[in-house]
Amino acid sequence: MPTVAIIGLGYVGLPLALQFARSGIKTIGIDIDDSKVESLKCGENYIQHLDATDLPDLLQSEQFDVDTDPARISDCDSVILCLPTPLNKNREPDLSYVLNTAQSLAPHLQKGTLLVLESTTYPGTTENELRNTLEKGSALTAGSDFHLAFSPEREDPGNLENHLSSIPKVVGALTPACLDRACALYAHVVKEVIPVSSCRVAEATKLLENIFRSVNIALVNELKQVYTKLDIDIWEVIEAAKTKPFGFMPFYPGPGLGGHCIPIDPFYLAWKAREVDQPTRFIELAGEINTAMPAYVIKQVAKALNHHGKALKNSKVLILGLAYKPDVDDDRESASYILMDLLREWDAQISYYDPHIPTIRPGRHQSHWAQIESVSWNRETLTTFDAVIIATAHSSIDYDKLASWSDCIIDTRNAMATIDTEPNQVWKA
For residues 370 and 50, give the distance between their C-alpha atoms in angstroms, rounded to a whole number. Answer: 23
Catalytic residue status for 76: no
**Helix locations, 80-175, DSSP H:** 96-105, 131-138
CB within 8 Å of 245: residues ≥ 6 apart? none
Among 82, 178, 261, 408, the one annotated catalytic:
261
Neighbours of 140 (CB within 10 A): 17
Alpha helices (H) in 164-309, listed in sequence order = 176-186, 199-229, 234-241, 265-275, 281-307
| Distance in Å from the first CA to the final CA of the chain | 53
Beta bridge partners of 411: 390, 428
Separation of alpha carbons 214 and 175, rounded Å: 32
Residues 6+ apart with CB under 8 A from 62: 26
Nearest of 257, 265, 266, 387 to residue 335 by alpha carbon: 257
15 closest CA partner among 60, 57, 61, 64: 64
State the DSSP code for 93. Answer: B
Tell me the torsion sign for CA atoms 252, 253, 259, 262: positive
Question: Alpha-carbon distance 84 to 5, whole Å?
Answer: 17
CB-based contact 147:2 (threshold 8 Å): no
The Cα 394–Cα 49 span in angstroms is 13
The set of catalytic residues is: 261
